[in-house]
Structure 1
Amino acid sequence: MTARFTVTYRLFAADRAEALARAEGIALEQTVEIPRDVVPPGFIEDEILGRVQEIGTEAEGQWRATVSYSPQSCGAELPQLLNVVFGNSSIQRGIKVIGLDLGPLTKAFPGARFGVGGLRRLADLERGPFIAPVLKPQGSSAAQLAETAYLCAMGGAHIVKEDHGLTNQPCAPFRDRVEAIAEALARARARTGRPCLYFAGLAGHSEELDDMAAFAVRAGVDGLLLMPGLFGFDTVHRLARNDRINLPIMTHPSFLGPYVLSSDTGFSHAMMFGTLQRLAGADISVFPNVGGRFGFTAQDCAAIAAACGDPAGIGRAILPSPGGGMSPERGAGMLAMYGEDAVFLLGGSLLRHGARIGEAIADLRNGLAG
């Protein structure tokens, strides 16, 4: 019998018998999708059919069920793997995905190309958190965004990333914007001797993303920002595995909220913003920080960070990147919560400093270093 991968679900049921029935239903639904009594004997029943491996109590009315699946159910295709993990069952209430063990699929899905160690080498940052201002707002010209990037780099930012709302709008078209920002950051590095990694956002028509990524490489960007909620996890996976691109990937949570916000359906926060991002090949996972405007709790954020950094997780450990409502004043608290292996995003609050934005970043950097 071949080795199998496993998925762990949180089931909402009145008792163990109901939970077991639900788990057995998932095992059928996610594989053969036919009644149990008509499952053909032999290979399909013995190999393809999902198997309930374990049922345990989590809390009152909540059960933890582990179901194993054959790697032959999905091969090496990420969309089909996700389909087996939660396809049709995602349309049912009372089921939440909370764990994934790839088992024999580990080699097929190696995870991040760079991970924490690779990003530290690129940023020449041996230790300490990454400070990452966000280039915004939408409506700015390419020249304005480039000037902001330059000031941030001069102030000691380790990364500048484009806001996810910057796509290919007429005010700052992708190619003009990328060239201007890359040139500005090259000037800053020539003056400071420090790298400031530039993550350019890929957005527009899906069929253009590969060409946009190739252009970004030629322009000298250091990483790519992608939105798996809009373009799919397989797009992230494809670009992360592309040897000609060979850039770290940062993923943004836009459009992913409905997957986690329900208490009894979807994915756990750790699964969505930790495990699945690692599965797709992201090196940095952006998510809303506690205390901001999005309502994630400290427990949610801690679980995400743990999933990103778990040495037993998929591939290399990656960097959690909390953001949303962030400010330099919260830096010390963030360091205490997330530790050094994190990317701290700073957005709208920095714009209050205007032309002195670099000084604010320098103050934050000095505060975190001391």
Structure 2
Amino acid sequence: MAGDNRFRVIYRLLADSAAEADSRARGIALEQTVEIPGDIVPAGYVSDEIVGQVEHIRAVGDNAYEATISYSPDSAGDEVIQLINVIFGNSSIQQNIRVVGIDPGPEIRARFGGPRFGIQGVRARAGRARGGLISPVIKPQGSSVRELAEIAHRCVLGGADIIKDDHGLANQKMAPFAERVKAVSVAVAEANAKCNGKAQYFVNVTGYSGNPVAEAFAAKEAGAGGVLLMPGLMGFGVVHALSRDPSFDLPIMTHPSFTGSYVLTPETGVSHALMYGVFQRLAGSDISVFPNVGGRFGFSVEECLSIAEACRDPGGLGQPIMPSPGGGMSVERAGDMVSMYGEDVVFLLGGSLLRAGDKIGEAVRAMRDAIDRIGS
């Protein structure tokens, strides 16, 4: 029997009839837990507790149904990878199944504390109590360490809150990890001293050494104020490990690289809100990057707002976190973006900034002034 401690997942299924939807839902309940036919499931604890329980199925449109299936927290343990595996492991390989909702229940909430910093912690580190945060991205790949450090220095003087490595900066010979992290950290610190700022440098950690956790600690020792991780490539387990390690104690930003195939097809995968909101909070991210409406990736207004809502939902798992839309950001769009996202947001500024050349700091200042003016 489903107990109060169970967590629930809502799946959207395509089926030709209610009977087929019921059969598909029962198949998911088995596939996501015991992965054996129903007639050989051991009686007792396994059949009563571990096997997923189909609680409700309802029609939501032509050949579309929503099935609510509950699972025991015992099937997940305290591992974020196994929890996501139960939510949508093998069934993600099947067609016409999409995860559209999750209710973690009290036990999963207790086991997975979510982000260490959240909105208020990120604001405290950046020294900005109100208004949207600005995060220029240092790029492009192929730039030298000196060039990247100079861009970072100018952006901090212009009023940046977070200096973010481009996610394409790894350990290439043009700007090796250790050399880049040290030089940019020094440049950010020197600029902070000049303008009495508290800008934080978020280092892209890729796991080139085979140990991304060690790389994150190395970045911290070199002066980084946070890290950028790509859970679509390295897994949510790395995010979770760093977020719950009290000796790390730096905010985490997560990047959407390699996750597009999970959200772009409406019949399969997971919803935008789950991928870039719920899952990021679950793993322990403090800032979730996603493609902005009007950029080159084609997310809609509704999809972007659903992500922002999931990031900041006070009823979500753990502390609310900062949504971070990227792409298509400019001074001209500042009003629309502030109106759309509000003030608890990190605005990424990328390629458009580089057009300013040596005046990149002035371009950051113009964006800062525009956001502050509109938000006041």
1:58 is displaced (CA, Å) by: 2.5
User: Which residue of structure 2 lines up, in the alignment, with residue 140 of structure 1?
Assistant: 143
1:206 is displaced (CA, Å) by: 5.7
User: Which residue of structure 2 lines up, in the alignment, with residue 270 of structure 1?
Assistant: 273
1:61 is displaced (CA, Å) by: 2.4
Task: Return the match for 1:363 from 354, 363, 366.
Answer: 366
The residue identity in structure 2 corresponding to 1:35 is P
- Alignment TM-score, normalising by the size of structure 1: 0.97
Summarize deviations over 1:23-53 as a string: whole Å, max 9, x none.
Answer: 1111111112222222222111111111011
Summarize deviations over 1:154-209 as a string: whole Å, max 9, x none.
Answer: 00011110000000111111111111111111111111111111101101426232
Instruction: Indicate the RMSD between aligned Cα atoms, in angstroms.
Output: 1.2
Name the stretch that deviates more: 130-139 or 103-112. 103-112
User: Which residue of structure 1 lines up, in the alignment, with residue 104 of structure 2?
Assistant: 102
Give identity over the alignment, percent: 56
User: Which residue of structure 2 lines up, in the alignment, with residue 74 of structure 1?
Assistant: 76
User: Which residue of structure 1 lines up, in the alignment, with residue 24 of structure 2?
Assistant: 22
Q: Is the 8 A contact 1:153 1:185 kept in 2?
A: yes
Structure 1: segments with no counterpart, 5+ residues = none
Give the count of matched residue pairs.
370
User: Which residue of structure 2 lines up, in the alignment, with residue 130 of structure 1?
Assistant: 133
User: Which residue of structure 2 lines up, in the alignment, with residue 223 of structure 1?
Assistant: 226
Q: Is the 8 A contact 2:330 2:367 kept in 1?
A: no
Structure 2: segments with no counterpart, 5+ residues = none
User: Which residue of structure 2 lines up, in the alignment, with residue 4 of structure 1?
Assistant: 6
Task: Return the match for 1:183 from 167, 186, 190.
Answer: 186
Query: Are 1:88 and 2:80 an aligned pair?
Result: no
Q: Is the 8 A contact 2:170 2:208 kept in 1?
A: no
User: Which residue of structure 1 lines up, in the alignment, with residue 290 of structure 2?
Assistant: 287
Change (3 A) 1:206 1:89: farther
Q: Is the 8 A contact 2:213 2:238 kept in 1?
A: no
1:97 is displaced (CA, Å) by: 0.7
Q: Is the 8 A contact 1:168 1:204 kept in 2?
A: no
1:56 is displaced (CA, Å) by: 2.2
Query: Are 1:234 and 2:237 an aligned pair?
Result: yes
The residue identity in structure 2 corresponding to 1:236 is V
Distance in 1 between residues matched to 2:179 and 2:216, nearest whole Å: 14
Matches within 5 A, 1:268-347: 268-347=271-350
User: Which residue of structure 1 lines up, in the alignment, with residue 355 of structure 2?
Assistant: 352
Distance in 2 between residues matched to 1:64 and 1:10, nearest whole Å: 5
User: Which residue of structure 2 lines up, in the alignment, with residue 57 of structure 1?
Assistant: 59
Give the SS at the match of 1:317: coil
1:262 is displaced (CA, Å) by: 1.1
Distance in 2 between residues matched to 1:169 and 1:33, nearest whole Å: 42
Name the stretch that deviates more: 338-347 or 70-79. 70-79
1:325 is displaced (CA, Å) by: 3.2
Write out the 4+ residue segments of structure 1 that deviate beyond 4 Å after TM superposition: none
Distance in 2 between residues matched to 1:148 and 1:69, nearest whole Å: 49
Distance in 2 between residues matched to 1:33 and 1:179, nearest whole Å: 48
Q: Is the 8 A contact 2:135 2:160 kept in 1?
A: yes
Distance in 1 between residues matched to 2:318 and 2:23, nearest whole Å: 34
Query: Are 1:120 and 2:104 an aligned pair?
Result: no
Distance in 1 between residues matched to 2:240 and 2:331, nearest whole Å: 33
Summarize deviations over 1:302-347 as a string: whole Å, max 9, x none.
Answer: 1111110111111000011111233232211111111111111010
User: Which residue of structure 2 lines up, in the alignment, with residue 33 of structure 1?
Assistant: 35
1:121 is displaced (CA, Å) by: 0.8
The residue identity in structure 1 corresponding to 2:299 is F
1:223 is displaced (CA, Å) by: 0.5
Name the stretch that deviates more: 13-22 or 318-327. 13-22
Q: Is the 8 A contact 2:209 2:215 kept in 1?
A: no
